[in-house]
Structures are given as structure tokens and as C-alpha cells.
């Protein structure tokens, strides 16, 4: 009679490998979750928006006919402009969303051609816009580019003439 050595058969080895792979995947998922929680814990809470605070275009009115390049000036009441990088209660910086709407409260303002960041604390700019109607949304966000939501946004439509 042959004695069994105790080494797993080929199918047992495959099962062990599958189980080890599943365990590794589970461990990696747990690590990712822990990393996300840690990052959330590191980021300060989004500061509250003071009652009555608002942003507005200081030099433009809704429905205005304008020429490009277009000078824009940003106004704010109830909060202060501070360059991006640090989250300080009652402060933030401006963004313009071209042909888009406000960013939901706490959402990060994207960095692309239609979302212009003024992280240096700028309060005016000049925009080159194609002829036609455009919606300009002024959006205020904290030092980490997290939106203060609809309350701290203002949208207008302008018609750029040739």
C-alpha cells in the first residue's frame, strides 16, 4: 500500500491559489477603504456658509450683449477671498464655469477648459469667448476647491457679438 505524503494534489493547489488570490484582493480593498477614510479624516470639514453670503458678477448683468475679450469682475458679500491651499472659515476663492451650472455643495470643482480656477485669490479676469450665447457661473469654493454650493454661485447669460 502506498503512503500519502501529505502534499496537496493539483486541484487542491489551484483551490489554495484561488483562496489566496481572493484574500489578497479582499486585503487590497480593505487597504483602499482605509486610505480613503484616512484622507477624509485629514481633510477638514467644509466650512459653513454664513447666512446672507453671496457672489455676483460686479460688472455684468444677466442678458448683457458683450464683445470678446470680455472683462469680468467678481463680487462677494459675507465671506472673504483667500488664495487656495488652506481651509479657513469664512473664506474661499472664485471659479467660473463656462456654459455649465453650479457645483453641488462639497463637490470638487473640476480643472478643465470650462472650469476656470482663480486659486491665487483673483477677483477679475478677461475671457475669450466665441460669438453667441454663453452661461457664466461664478462659483465660490474653499481652499481645497470644494464648492460652497448653489448659495455661493451666480449664473448669468451673455450674448457675445462679433
CA–CA separation, 111 and 108 (whole Å)? 9
Count of CA atoms in the C-beta half-sphere (13 A) of 12: 4
Element housing 71 (H / E):
strand 70-77
Q: What is the pLDDT of residue 5?
A: 45
Domain 54-161 matching CATH 3.30.43.10: the answer reads no
- In order along its 162 residues, the chain shows pLDDT tens digits of 444 444 455 555 555 566 665 666 666 665 655 554 444 557 889 989 999 999 999 999 999 999 999 999 999 999 999 999 999 999 999 999 999 999 999 999 999 999 999 999 999 999 999 999 999 999 999 999 999 999 999 999 999 997
Per-residue exposure over 14-53, b if at least 16 CB sit within 10 Å of its own CB, e if not: eeeeeeeeeeeeeeeeeeeeeeeeeeeeeeeebbebeeeb
Dihedral angle of Cα 19, 21, 23, 24, to the nearest 10 degrees: 160
Q: Which three cell numbers stand for residue 41?
A: 479624516
Amino acid at each position: 500500500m502506498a503512503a500519502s505524503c501529505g502534499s496537496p494534489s493539483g486541484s487542491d493547489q489551484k483551490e489554495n491559489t484561488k483562496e489566496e488570490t481572493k484574500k489578497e484582493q479582499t486585503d487590497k480593498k480593505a487597504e483602499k477603504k482605509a486610505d480613503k477614510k484616512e484622507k477624509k479624516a485629514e481633510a477638514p470639514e467644509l466650512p459653513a456658509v454664513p447666512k446672507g453670503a453671496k457672489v455676483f458678477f460686479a460688472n455684468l448683468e444677466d442678458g448683457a450683449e458683450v464683445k470678446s475679450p470680455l472683462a469680468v469682475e467678481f463680487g462677494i458679500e459675507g465671506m472673504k477671498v483667500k488664495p487656495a491651499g488652506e481651509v479657513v472659515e469664512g473664506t474661499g476663492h472664485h471659479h467660473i464655469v463656462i456654459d455649465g451650472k453650479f457645483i453641488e455643495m462639497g463637490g470638487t470643482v473640476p480643472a478643465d477648459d470650462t472650469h476656470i480656477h482663480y486659486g491665487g485669490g483673483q477677483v477679475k479676469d478677461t475671457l475669450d469667448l466665441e460669438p453667441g450665447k454663453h452661461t457664466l457661473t461664478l462659483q465660490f469654493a474653499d481652499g481645497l476647491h470644494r464648492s460652497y454650493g448653489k448659495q455661493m454661485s451666480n449664473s448669468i447669460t451673455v450674448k457675445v457679438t462679433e
